[in-house]
Each structure stands twice: as C-alpha cells, then as structure tokens.
Amino acid sequence: MELEAKLHKIKKPIMVLGTSSAAGKSLTVTAICRILKNLGEEPIPFKGQNMSNNAWVDWEGGEMAYSQALQAFACGINPSAEMNPILLKPQGNSVSEVIHLGKSIGTTTAQNYYKDWFIPGWEVIKKSLNSIYERNPNCRLIIEGAGSPVEMNLIHRDLTNLRVAKYLNANCILVTDIERGGVFAQIIGTLELMKPEEKKLIKGIIVNRFRGDLSLFKEGKKWIESKTKIPVIGIIPWLNDTFPPEDSLDLLEKKSRYTNPEIKVGIIKLPSISNFSDFDPLENEESIFIEWVSEAQNLNKFDFIILPGSKQTIKDQIFLDECGLSQNIKEYSKKKGNIIGICGGLQMLGTSLEDPFFKEGSKIYSEQIIRGIGLLPIKTNFFENKLTRQISSESLWPCQSKINGFEIHNGHTELDNTQNTLKIKPIFKDFNLGWYKENQEGGTIAGTYIHGIFENDIWRDQYINLIRKSKNLPISNIKSISYKLKRESIINNLANEFDKHLNITSLLN
C-alpha cells in the first residue's frame, strides 16, 4: 500500500526545523529519540537529505550520515540508510557525490543538482518513508530538517524541510539558537516567510543554548508566544555537548575538555576530511589532549599524529605537499614519532597514489599518479567503484583482540615491492585492512582502512599504552570505560537535560 493511503493511520511524526544551520536540530532530534524510547514508544530518525562527509555504513553496506546513525543509537535500533535516503558528500569546487539509499549513483554540480536530481530525489525519499512504515507500522518518525526551511531561492526545490513536513502532516518544532543573537528576529522572520498552511504545522518553538538564569527569559517567552500564537515548549540551557559536528569547519573550534592530559595528539585537518567521528573515543579519554593541525609546523610537541580519512585523497596529498606538512610529518617520523593513518590517511602514508578514473581529486591537477608521503612501503590504485562494508576481524598488533568497524573507500592498497617490505607487518588477520612498521629510531608508523578503530576498547587501550611506553609513562592497567557505554551515557545525559526543559508530550497526539 502506498504511504499516502495510510497517512491517517500512522503515529503523528515530529519534525525538527531550524531558523538556521547549526541551530541544534541534530542534537534536538537525538534527545527526543531517547526521550520517546524511554517513554516506551518506537521512535525512528529520518532526514530526507543530508550533506556531510561524516558517514556511517549500515549492516547492508549502505552509506548514511553519521548524525542519523547516532540518532538511531539513541532510539536503540540499528542504523539503516533508509533513515537518510539522500546523502551528498562534497568533493570541493561545488561538486558532490550523490548517494541514494546507501549507494553511490553519480556526481553533480550545485548548479545542476535540482535540475537532474530533484525528481528522483523526491521519489527515493517517498520510497524510504513507505519502506520504514511497512516494516514498523507502530513507529513514530522523528524527522530532522536541513538548514533553514525558508531559503526563498531554494524553497521551490526543497527536498527535506517543508515538503516532507506537508507530505506527512508532521507536528513541527522550530528550533532557534539564542547564542547567535537575534533570536526574536530569527523566529518571526522564519514564520513570516512561510505560507499559511506551512505555518500551521509549527506546533512549538525551542530556544536553544541559553546561558545563565532561565527565569530571565520569561518576558521573552511571553513576547514570542503573544506574537506568534505558538507555544515555546522548551528553553534549553547551554550544554557541553561532545557530539561530532557535521561540518568539518567546526573542528578547529573544538577544544579538548581535559586540563591535565598526559598525551598530546595532533590530528591533521585535511581540506577534504571525512569521518572525523573516528576520534570521538579519543575526545572522551581524560589522559588525552587533541589539537587540530591545519598548517605547517614542528610536530614534535605531539605524542602521536593522526592522518584522518579524506573524500579527495590525491587533492589532500597535494595540499600536504604544498603547505609543507608532508615534510613536517617525515621529520616527525625520524624523531621517534608515532603516526597512524585511517583510510585516506593510510593511503597517503604510502609511496604512490594512482587515480586512472579521476575519483580522488587528481583531475584538478591533471596528474593520475602522484607520490605519497612514503613512510610505508605500500601503493594504492583507485577504482571506479568504492567499497562500503561492516568489518569484523581480529588484531595482531598492538595486541590480539576482536575488532569491529567499517570501510568506506575507493582504491586497493598493496605492498610496494619496489621498496623494502621486510619491516612492514599486518595489523589484522585480514592482511589488507592495515599495516604497521617500527622505526629504527623508535616510534611506529601505522595505517588502517577501518573506520571506528578507536571504538574498540581493548585495541585503543593497548595503542595508548604503546604511546605511554614511548614517553616513559607508567603503563595503565586500568581498563577504560567502554566507548559505547560512554556514548550511551552522553545520549542519556543529553536526553535528561532536554527532558527537564522540554514539553514534548503535547506533540504526541
């Protein structure tokens, strides 16, 4: 049965719209998902279209935005690409990879996107909604919008805000960020730009990131309700959220929370960085301080360096060469430096990168083969199609332990037999998932294709102990708290704070 014919039977969806990007929509949806789960409901997150290089791979190998995966964890369910049927992964120069229902189906320029992809995009959104309700007839969708719902130059081509709200007749919440200033203008302006039938869908307003005494906003709340005739259902205080930003530009503003760390980590801030949620487990280690590195500098102050994933590996390798960071990393490796690369970072640590199909940014430079940093004797060839899958393996280094994670990458990496390969060893029983090499001077160079490697608690503990040993710090025999349990605790704390200040029950009927 088509969804249109049974919309009257489904539980009323809740949709979270924002007065702007970064108003707090993602965290609000995450909190509501956990609140409703605790109330015994069956919440399922949904975002019709997301633009992000911070991705997750579901158990069928489908790509989706990490933020929707996190919201699924808040619901206590497995993430599925149907929860984010359209994912756009920016490649630079206004070009994005288009992913429908977890599978890459092409690339597009911003100029041509709505001309070429609007109709198929709307069809795949409806298909996903229908499939979700077919399998979960008693669920309640908690839907996240994107950016502002009233971008007037785009609203006629909107795929993921008011079009979805009207299609599902959802109860909508408008979230605004008071930290940015101009909160009254944000609310009134957004509502004024809506059509009457759209404005009727807005059933509540949330004022987010309020600092100080909440009682000081009583008059502001009265004014908003008087002017809009819409209840303010929540004034959410400023929270020290530890969730990853969707936009990699926010990473440079992210600060470590711990004041007395024993280990300093430098993460290279690549222009096309992807999957930076890989480092959330390190953010939650009290002994670790993280600093993002975006320009050439002496790296010796760091106890280990991470090269993260990249959406455009060759483009980012050329950036490292041109800005001087490649040379900095080489010099660091000669001074007992510890380096680990993940996915694209692994590829860049090798000797060469070959891109015959121009998948990884080489077309911009008309170079199909370029040199890598050259610290591992491996080489990478990029293919037309990429590999996306969940991983279950076993590590051999720095300890034997079970490993879970996922792969998202173009290209195949193998040993470069033109180099000395005697010292390079596999990290895992599945040899093609990563390698490491111990330097004569001390320190290790390692790289892996596994995203989420630091979520494996035993492996993470042993790798950190390897670093501690290189610093002559005492080895820690205390098992760290499971990262997945920490993530659950963070989600619970988020939901509890929202629950104190949010009246969500009025929207459930």
How far apart are alpha carbons 296 and 252 in whole angstroms? 15
The DSSP H or E segment spanning 143 is strand 140-144
Q: Which residue out of 100, 139, 172, 451 is catalytically annotated?
A: 451
Whether residue 279 contacts residue 242, with contact meaning beta carbons closer than 8 Å, is answered with no
Cβ pair 58, 78 in contact under 8 A: yes
CB-CB contact of 498 with 234 (8 Å):
yes
**H/E stretch holding 354:** strand 352-354
Amino acid, res. 413? T
Determine how many CB atoms are found less than 10 A away from the CB of residue 367. Answer: 14
**Spatial contact of 91 and 53, defined as CB atoms under 8 Å apart:** no
Active-site residue flag, 343: yes
Q: CA distances (Å), 244 to each of 12, 25, 27, 280, in order?
A: 29, 13, 10, 7
Q: What is the DSSP code (8-state) at residue 439?
A: -
3-state secondary structure of 493: helix
CB 339 within 8 A of CB 305: yes
C-alpha to C-alpha distance for 288 and 269, rounded to whole angstroms: 18
Task: Please compute, for residue 113, the number of CA atoms within 13 A of its CA located in the half-sphere on the CB side.
Answer: 24
Exactly one of 100, 139, 343, 409 is catalytic; which is it?
343
The answer to whether residue 100 is catalytic is no
Q: Following CA atoms 58, 490, 344, 359 in sequence, which dihedral angle do they give, to the nearest 10 degrees? A: 50
- In a 13 Å sphere around the CA of 437, the CA atoms on its Cβ side amount to 21
Structure tokens at 255: 């600060």
| Residue 457 dihedral angles phi and psi, to the nearest 5° | -60, -45
Q: Quick check: 455 and 281 in contact, CB under 8 A?
A: yes
Collapsed DSSP state (helix, strand, coil) of residue 158:
coil
Spatial contact of 337 and 299, defined as CB atoms under 8 Å apart? yes
SS3 content of the chain, % helix, strand, coil (to 5): 35, 25, 35
Query: What is the phi-psi region of residue 273: left when phi exceeds 0, alpha when psi lies from -120 to 50, beta otherwise?
Result: beta
Phi, psi (rounded to 5 degrees) for 109: -85, 160
List active site positions. Answer: 343, 451
